[in-house]
């Protein structure tokens, strides 16, 4: 680092588990960019101050993770069309003091799902577990793929109903009561966990019983630490195809890198360094 180094980072609560600094610093090195990326623990009460700090210190870009993806929007100058439709921001670009919010979660997730597990989502029935900021971006991106139906389930059922009703009717998203979830899973083509249940260090927790899924269906988890969650391990034993969160993590970071730098992201190097950090 020197006086010309451009600063980037990620904010969240918790944040110590994040592999973003490893991945993005490798990307900067790979492309010969004088940039540095760090993780910052920001609690909800500190969010407005943190965003003011981005302006004041001249950070070029920021990633935003749990639990700030929705609340951060109030402190930005502009929201991209995709992020506005999703109702959540995970990437901020500082354009000469003007902070612009984007959502790369959804597009990163769908790219990964199609490459690694289900090449076509058209006509499929998809269940999404969780109604937080991560779910919002993914729901919007899934809806662009013309599925037959997207069913949204959350333990606090009012949150699922509220989120489903806030999105365009054209997206064919409806809420599903938790009590009906088991039956719905038995005929779904893809079941996606967008919650933090099963994330390190609570690696034995599962969002639902994976044996509810039909054999051959895709069980997908946004969590990438651990690489294979307890939910995915159970689903695999049950005869499901599984899809972990690493690909989404790589691609959401790659899209953010491209927004910040205007250069194509070194995706292979980014994946390599993250896998190496897991000892893979």
Does 158 show up as a binding residue in the annotation?
yes
31 catalytic? Reply is no
Any known ligand binding at 20?
A: yes
Q: Is 236 annotated as a binding residue?
A: no
Point out the catalytic residue in the list 69, 114, 228, 280: 69
The reply to whether 81 sits in an annotated binding site is yes
Was 247 annotated as part of a binding site? no
- 131: annotated binding-site residue? yes
277 forms beta bridges with none
Q: Is 252 part of any known ligand binding site?
A: yes
237 is in an annotated binding site: no
Q: Is 130 annotated as a binding residue?
A: yes
Annotated ligand binding at 25? The verdict is no
Annotated binding site for shikimate: 18-20, 65, 90, 105, 224, 252
Residues carrying an active site annotation: 69
Annotated binding site: 18-20, 65, 81, 90, 105, 130-134, 154-159, 222, 224, 245, 252
Annotated binding site for NADP(+): 81, 130-134, 154-159, 222, 245
């Amino acid at each position: 680092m020197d006086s010309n180094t451009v600063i980037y980072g990620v904010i969240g609560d918790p944040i110590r588990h994040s592999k973003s600094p490893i991945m993005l610093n490798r990307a900067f090195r790979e492309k010969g960019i004088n940039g540095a990326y760090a993780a910052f623990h920001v609690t909800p009460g500190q969010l407005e101050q943190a965003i003011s700090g981005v302006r004041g210190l001249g950070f070029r870009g920021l990633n935003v993770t749990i639990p700030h993806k929705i609340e951060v929007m109030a402190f930005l100058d502009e929201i991209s069309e995709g992020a506005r439709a999703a109702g959540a921001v995970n990437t901020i670009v500082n354009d000469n003091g003007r902070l612009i919010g984007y959502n790369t979660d959804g597009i990163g997730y769908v790219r990964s799902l199609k490459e690694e597990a289900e090449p076509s989502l058209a006509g499929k029935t998809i269940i999404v577990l969780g109604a937080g900021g991560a779910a919002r971006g993914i729901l919007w991106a899934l809806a662009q793929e013309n599925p037959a139906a997207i069913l949204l389930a959350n333990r606090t059922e009012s949150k699922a109903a509220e989120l489903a009703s806030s999105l365009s009717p054209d997206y064919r998203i409806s809420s599903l009561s938790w009590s009906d979830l088991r039956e719905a899973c038995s005929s779904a083509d893809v079941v996606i966990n967008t919650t933090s249940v099963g994330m390190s260090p609570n690696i034995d927790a599962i969002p639902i019983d994976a044996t509810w899924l039909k054999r051959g269906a895709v069980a997908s988890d946004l969590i990438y630490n651990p690489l294979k969650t307890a939910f995915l391990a159970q689903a695999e034993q049950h005869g499901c195809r599984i899809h972990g969160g690493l690909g989404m993590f790589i691609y959401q970071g790659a899209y953010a890198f491209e927004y910040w730098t205007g250069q194509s992201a070194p995706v292979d190097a980014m994946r390599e360094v993250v896998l190496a950090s897991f000892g893979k």
